[in-house]
A and B are shown apart, each in its own frame.
Chain A
Amino acid sequence: MSFSVRAATVRHGDTLALDDVTVVVEPGSVVVVVGGDGAGKTTLLRTMVGEVVLDSGTVDAPPAQAIGYLTARAGSWQALTVRQNMDFVGGIYGLPREQLEQRREELLSRAGLTEAGDRLASQLSGGMRRKLGFSMAMLHEPALLVLDEPTTGVDPVSRVDIWRLVSEAAAAGAAVLMATTYLDEAERAGSLLVLDGGRTLAHGTLAQVRAALDGTITEDGVPHRAAWAWRRGRRYHEYWATREVIAGSAVAIDPDLEDVVVALSLARRAAVGGHR
């Protein structure tokens, strides 16, 4: 059974935090929500776990005790040790002692935290703290795992660990919905949802998201129209809508997700009269 938020609209005062956004998460799969600060990622995740009430739309999620939720901040009690944090959460879910201890040690071992088990959470590195938060969210074997930027500010090695843990959870049958600002990381997900200013820019597999962009992305040593060009290293990438005449020296490229999201964002903001 899949979980979903459909046609979701959420208003915070005058601003539309979410404008007709739909996301569907199948068991055994990872859906990644990408977008910057203010795109609506956290609002969408909180909608899925029932912390935000929709102005319109529907939510189809399992009951709270079958959801694991890692928020963007903290996620653990700083004055408790790693094991105490796990035990506390296990107690909330009413796990029997023996089962809790077994599950706790298994998760800590997978996260590489066994040796740090008696350390205070405040003494963990940023990456270890996120792995602890993840392990706490996984303790009761939730059917739906919701992760808000589990890897932001985390070093690449810990990030690989977290992705391995996410992959394991999905391979074991969990439906995973996670937010990230790292687009190279998002390319790994089976399915993507690209948000900007509360709206869906594109969704689907990486190939479908690429296909959502009409027009061409080119590379050149100089920008031809500054408003539509952005730097990649010492070169410029530039977006051309379908009927535009591409400058002679610009060479069409196979864009990555970063290029596609930048081009989609430029096109959308031009359409609504904003600027970068």
Chain B
Amino acid sequence: MNAPALLRASRASRDFGGFRAVDAVTMSVGPGEVVGLLGANGAGKTTLIRMLLGLIPVTSGDVELLGGPPDRERRSGLGYVPQGLGLYRDLTVQENLAFSSQAYSVDPPELTEPLQGSAGVLVGDLSLGLQRQLAFLAALAHSPRVLVLDEPTSGVDPLARAALWDTIRDQADAGTGVLVTTHYMQEAAQCDRLLLMSRARLVAQGSEADIIGATRAVAVRADDWAAAFAALNAAGEPVMLAGREVRVADADPDHIGAVLSAAGIVAEVAAVPATIEERMMVLARETSSGVS
């Protein structure tokens, strides 16, 4: 990518007392790119974002927003939708937009179709889906070049989610760089590129396939799925149910087959590619058992 990065971290680290929350992370977001930031709670995603936005300083390394240190002036080129949406619930839709536009010295934006007719409604009385539409509208009013979204669609219905992704993609098509955190794996598939954090470090990046890497799972199909599940669970395997299929992440199919036949269960056992969630689960188990 030749275009200069809009967001960039170079071996950025952050300590809180003796605890390292972000450890030597190098990443960037370029113009027109939608980059997904994944990781379990406590992996360091929010700390990384707060450093990139200049809300907390780095302990070591370097971060840049729009080609320089993330100061107040550069932050005027940023649109940020925090998890809590950052709206005033006791103000109306129109008052919220007037307030946020004034902060950036721009005219309040026109209401988008779903919000038309709600101008005088208190934000606290809007559905969650409409509140999210409004938070987007407020964040986009000053035509930011970088958009940072923290779990933008949590709790929203599929149609409203599709509408929000239309907005995100329109922004990217117009050259805006987007960094989005999500716990929703289908949403991860909407991104151009993914970053996976675990225990303060960036452990994988690239496409979904790059993130999953060599991690495999074992899929078990048995007529008596409940018995198959119970037998594998009793054997201490990290077992999960997917429809009537039982799955075990990062397991040896021969071993799983042996556990099942020892319990007298007839089943089809196959090695299959893992999902992103299974990859994350494997990382978490490595962490808790001290293997790295």
Contacts and interface: CB of A to CB of B under 8 A. Distances in A.
A207 to B, nearest CB: 10
A28 to B, nearest CB: 6
A171 B277 contact: no
Given A156-B277, A183-B158, A37 B127 contact: yes
Contacts of A189: 243
A261 B158 contact: yes
Nearest to A167: B241
Interface stretch (A51-59, A225-233, A243-251): A225-233
A37 B129 contact: yes
Contacts of B229: 167-168, 171
Interface stretch (A8-16, A89-97, A100-108, A147-155): A147-155
Given A156-B40, A231-B169, A262-B158, A171 B233 contact: yes
Interface stretch (B184-192, B255-263, B265-273): B184-192
A39 interface: yes
B11 interface: no
A164 B154 contact: no
A84 interface: no
Contacts of B161: 36
A188 B158 contact: no
Contacts of B278: 160
Given A155-B183, A171-B233, A182-B184, A196 B157 contact: yes
Contacts of A172: 230
A162 to B, nearest CB: 10
A168 B233 contact: yes
Nearest to B163: A276
A230 B284 contact: no
Contacts of B151: 153
Contacts of B233: 164, 168, 171
Interface string B148-173: 00010011111111110110010000
B114 interface: yes
Given A37-B129, A159-B183, A234-B169, A167 B240 contact: yes
Given A156-B40, A171-B230, A275 B158 contact: no
B159 A276 contact: yes
Nearest to B38: A156
Contacts, number: 146
In this complex, the member of A38, A157, A258 whose beta carbon has the largest number of chain B beta carbons within 10 angstroms is A157
B241 A188 contact: yes
Nearest to A266: B159
A198 interface: no
B281 interface: yes
Contacts of B155: 36-37, 149, 152-153, 181
In this complex, the member of A149, A159, A172 whose beta carbon has the largest number of chain B beta carbons within 10 angstroms is A159
B162 A231 contact: yes
B157 A36 contact: yes
A184 interface: yes
A265 B281 contact: no
Nearest to B227: A171
Contact of B159 (A154, A190, A262): A262
Given A153-B155, A276-B159, A159 B277 contact: yes
B190 A36 contact: no
A187 interface: yes
Given A153-B151, A159-B277, A230 B166 contact: yes
A122 interface: no
Interface string B37-64: 0111110000000000000000000000
Contacts of B281: 156-157, 160
Contacts of A256: 186
B275 to A, nearest CB: 9
Contacts of B129: 36-38
B73 interface: no
Interface string B103-141: 000000000011000000000000111000000000000
B253 to A, nearest CB: 20
A231 B165 contact: yes
Nearest to A154: B183
B203 interface: no
Interface in A201-219: 205-206
A77 interface: no
B207 to A, nearest CB: 11
Contacts of A68: none
B180 to A, nearest CB: 13
B35 interface: no
Interface in B204-255: 226, 229-230, 233, 238-244
Contact of B226 (A28, A234, A262): A28
Q: Which 6 A-B pairs have the closest CB atoms?
A: A36-B157, A167-B241, A230-B162, A37-B128, A155-B41, A155-B40
Given A36-B128, A258-B186, 8 more contacts: A37-B160, A153-B155, A160-B278, A164-B238, A168-B229, A171-B230, A183-B186, A276-B162
17 contacts: A36-B128, A37-B156, A149-B155, A157-B284, A160-B240, A164-B238, A166-B241, A170-B226, A171-B229, A171-B233, A184-B186, A188-B240, A233-B189, A234-B169, A234-B192, A266-B159, A276-B163
